[in-house]
Structure 1
Amino acid sequence: MYEEIPRVELTPAAADLVRRLHAAHGPLMFHQSGGCCDGSAPMCYPDGEFRTGNSDVLLAELYVDGVEEPVSFWMSRSQYQAWSHTRLIVDVVEGRGSGFSLEAPEGVRFLTRSRVVGT
């Protein structure tokens, strides 16, 4: 039986942080732009706070135990073209990331790891 590999997944640490952020801020979304500085890291926002458009691709609706609604994961189309052959794994590492992402005050930041998808 064929089992589909998720396009985007969260590590247990990332899922735990999403639960904490959801409890504090309500529904969430991720966007990864590929821009300068922290732009290549996934940024977490209250759902709908970051405006997506034709230059963005919805890669996944992430279901996290303990979070009622799915968390959307968006990526800029140009970044997606570079990462289209990979599975994205959202993790958490120590250190301060962007001041715009909800986890910044926690002293940690989200980080995308990738694995090449087999053909």
Structure 2
Amino acid sequence: MIKIISDSTCDLSQEVLERYDIDIIPLHIVKGDEELEDGPQIDIHALYEWADKNKTTPKTSAPSIETAINVMRPYIDEGREIICFSISSEMSTSINVIRMAAEELDAEDKVTVIDSRNLS
């Protein structure tokens, strides 16, 4: 059985994530000196207000390798193959982090990473 995983830039609704059993590797959102893990706890309206108030756009940073490993490890341990979708490699190092996590798990042959070539 194949497991689908995506980084958090996929912008899928919670309903779709649950219906298709898709796991998320969260990127980080950096606003000023504050770094937040992307996910349901992010208040998008507050993020827009912060951007308007500070006349700048929040930045993103790739997930940590530890986070990627922690998301993928249970499925690798079960012997499952993983298809993982990532934000464009031209915009982020997220795809490289996911590939390095697969290497750390000695699972390069079990993890296929797809470069979405998009931001969402």
Q: Report which of the two has the higher share of strand.
A: 1
TM over 0.5, yes or no?
no
**TM-score of the two chains, using structure 1 as the length reference:** 0.26
**TM-score of the two chains, using structure 2 as the length reference:** 0.26
